[in-house]
Amino acid sequence: MPIGFDLPEHVARTQSAIRHFIASEIIPLEQRAVGVQVDDQLVAELRRRGQDSGLWAPQLSAELGGGGFDLLESAPLLEEAGYSLLGPLALHCAAPDEGNLHLLDVVASPYQRERFLTPLAHGGTRSAFAMTEPPPGAGSDPASLRTTAVQDGASWVINGRKWLITGADGAAFFIVMARTGDQSATMFLIDADTPGLRVGAHAHTIDASMPGGHCEVTFEDCRVSSDAILGAAHEGFRYAQVRLAPARLTHCMRWLGAARRAHDIAVAHAIDRTMFGSKLSELGMAQQMIADNEIDLHTSRLVLWHACWSIVQGARGGEESSRAKVQVSEAVHRVIDRSVQLAGGMGTSENMILGRLYADVRAFRIYDGASEVHRMSLAKRAVRRATTPAADNVYATTPA
Query: How does pLDDT run across 124-153, given as a tens digit for each residue?
Result: 999 999 999 999 999 888 889 999 999 999
Q: Where in the chain is the domain with CATH 1.10.540.10?
A: 9-121
CB distance 146 to 137 below 8 Å: yes
125, 168, 224, 239, 328 from 103: Cα distances, Å: 16, 18, 20, 8, 23
Instruction: Work out whether the CA dihedral 174, 175, 180, 182 comes out positive or negative.
Output: negative
Q: What is the pLDDT, as a whole number, of residue 33?
A: 86
Q: Is the pLDDT of residue 363 over 80?
A: yes
Q: Where in the chain is the domain with CATH 2.40.110.10?
A: 127-234
Q: Is the pLDDT of residue 398 over 90?
A: no
CA dihedral 338, 370, 373, 258 (to 10 degrees): -50
Q: What is the pLDDT, as a whole number, of residue 27?
A: 97
Other CB atoms within a 10 A radius of the CB of residue 271 amount to: 11
Q: What is the pLDDT, as a whole number, of residue 311?
A: 95
Q: Is the pLDDT of residue 11 over 90?
A: yes
Q: Is the pLDDT of residue 3 over 90?
A: no
Q: Which amino acid, 194? A: T
For the chain, the 3-state helix, strand and coil shares in percent, each to the nearest 5, are: 55, 15, 30
Q: Which amino acid, 123? A: G
Q: What is the pLDDT, as a whole number, of residue 396?
A: 45
CB distance 240 to 179 below 8 Å: no
pLDDT band at 358 (very low <50, low <70, confident <90, very high): very high
Other CB atoms within a 10 A radius of the CB of residue 139 amount to: 20
20, 97, 237, 243, 331 from 156: Cα distances, Å: 49, 25, 18, 23, 44
For the ranges 35-44, 178-187, 211-220, 300-309, the lowest mean pLDDT is seen at 35-44
Domain 9-121 class in CATH: mainly alpha
Percent over 70 (pLDDT), the chain: 97
The rounded radius of gyration (Å) of the Cα atoms in the chain is 22
CB distance 293 to 322 below 8 Å: no
Q: What is the mean pLDDT of the chain?
A: 94
The pLDDT tens digits for 232-283 are 999 999 999 999 889 999 999 999 999 999 999 999 999 999 999 999 999 9
pLDDT band at 392 (very low <50, low <70, confident <90, very high): low
Q: HSE on the CB side for 3, CA within 13 Å?
A: 5
CA distance 40 to 217: 19
CA distance 244 to 131: 12
CB distance 204 to 169 below 8 Å: no
The pLDDT tens digits for 149-207 are 999 999 999 999 999 999 999 999 999 999 999 999 999 999 999 999 999 999 999 99
Instruction: Work out whether the CA dihedral 176, 241, 204, 37 comes out positive or negative.
Output: negative
CB distance 252 to 304 below 8 Å: yes
Helix (H) or strand (E) holding 238: helix 236-272
Helix (H) or strand (E) holding 153: none
Which residues, including other chains, have CB under 8 Å from residue 361's CB and lie 6 or more apart? 255, 258, 259, 332, 333, 336
Q: Where in the chain is the domain with CATH 1.20.140.10?
A: 237-391
CB distance 215 to 203 below 8 Å: yes
CATH topology of domain 237-391: Butyryl-CoA Dehydrogenase, subunit A; domain 3 (1.20.140)
The pLDDT tens digits for 12-53 are 999 999 999 999 999 999 988 877 889 999 999 999 999 999
Q: What is the pLDDT, as a whole number, of residue 115?
A: 97
The pLDDT tens digits for 63-77 are 999 999 999 999 999
CATH topology of domain 127-234: Butyryl-CoA Dehydrogenase, subunit A; domain 2 (2.40.110)
Q: Is the pLDDT of residue 391 over 70?
A: no
Percent over 90 (pLDDT), the chain: 88
pLDDT band at 400 (very low <50, low <70, confident <90, very high): very low
Helix (H) or strand (E) holding 142: none
